[in-house]
């Protein structure tokens, strides 16, 4: 079961950037742990700081992969184009955030993508990604049809 973890802008700096908010671990390091924890999932990871590249990736995998775990970073709060891309594809997307966006600035409390995602997970640190993967792992094969 192919699952993509997709990270948006500035998330390449995890472990370096604002450690009090985002922790001191790189995503590459955490990704190794996720691969061990979910041997039944074929996990891949992609990060870009560029909106168009994220859209291209959603289009590339969004008609064949079984799931996408997406942290759109700041584009979450601004991007009509990313929300349209999520609407356009068949693969279910779970929105994740490391920080609790609802406990932060008012402008972070609006997600342009949430209405088109299967669900949203926010505030559990890097464990937000693990929780999203548990959703896909526990789905029975027949439940993971597109547009569920
Ligand atoms: C974030 C929250 C966003 O508001 C912020 O712009 C990020 C990271 C998170 O994972 O907590 O870059 O998506």
Q: What is the pLDDT of residues 91-109, one digit of tens each?
A: 999 999 999 999 999 999 9
Ligand-binding annotation for 87, yes or no, is no
- Return the SS3 of 5: strand
> How far is it, in rounded angstroms, from Cα 9 to Cα 88?
21
Q: What is the CATH number of domain 2-140?
A: 3.40.50.9100
Residue 45 annotated as catalytic = no
Q: How far is ligand 1, taken at its centre, from the CA of residue 139, in Å?
A: 27
- The domain ranges of the chain are 2-140
The pLDDT of residue 137: 95
Name the residue of 6, 18, 22, 99 to mutate for ligand 1: max ligand atoms within 8 A of Cβ: 99
* Residue 97 CB less than 6 A away from ligand 1: yes
Q: Which residue has the tokens 């693969």?
A: 91
> How far is it, in rounded angstroms, from Cα 97 to Cα 129?
8
> How far is it, in rounded angstroms, from Cα 131 to Cα 67?
13
> How far is it, in rounded angstroms, from Cα 90 to Cα 11?
25
Name the residue of 101, 117, 121 to mutate for ligand 1: max ligand atoms within 8 A of Cβ: 101
The pLDDT of residue 144: 55
112 within 8 A of 82, measured Cβ to Cβ = yes
Q: Which residues are CB-contacts of 80 (< 8 A; sequence separation ≥ 6)? A: 112
Split the chain (148 residues) into runs of 10 and give each run's mean pLDDT.
Answer: 97 93 93 97 98 98 98 98 98 98 97 98 98 92 56
SS (H, E, C) 54-97: HHHHHHHHCCCCCEEEEECHHHHHCCHHHHHHHHHCCCCEEEEE
Ligand-binding annotation for 77, yes or no, is yes
């Amino acid at each position: 079961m192919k699952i993509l973890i997709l990270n948006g802008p500035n998330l390449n700096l995890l472990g370096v950037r604002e450690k009090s908010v985002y922790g001191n671990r790189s995503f590459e390091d955490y990704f190794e742990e996720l691969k061990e924890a979910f041997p039944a999932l074929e996990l891949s990871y992609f990060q870009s700081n560029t909106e168009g590249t994220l859209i291209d990736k959603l289009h590339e995998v969004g008609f064949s992969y079984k799931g996408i775990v997406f942290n759109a970073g700041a584009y979450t709060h601004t991007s009509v184009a990313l929300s349209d891309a999520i609407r356009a594809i068949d693969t279910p997307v779970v929105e994740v955030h490391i920080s609790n966006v609802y406990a932060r600035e008012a402008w972070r409390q609006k997600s342009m993508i949430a209405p088109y995602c299967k669900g949203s997970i926010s505030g559990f640190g890097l464990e937000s990604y693990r929780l999203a993967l548990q959703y896909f792992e526990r789905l029975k094969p027949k439940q993971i049809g597109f547009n569920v």
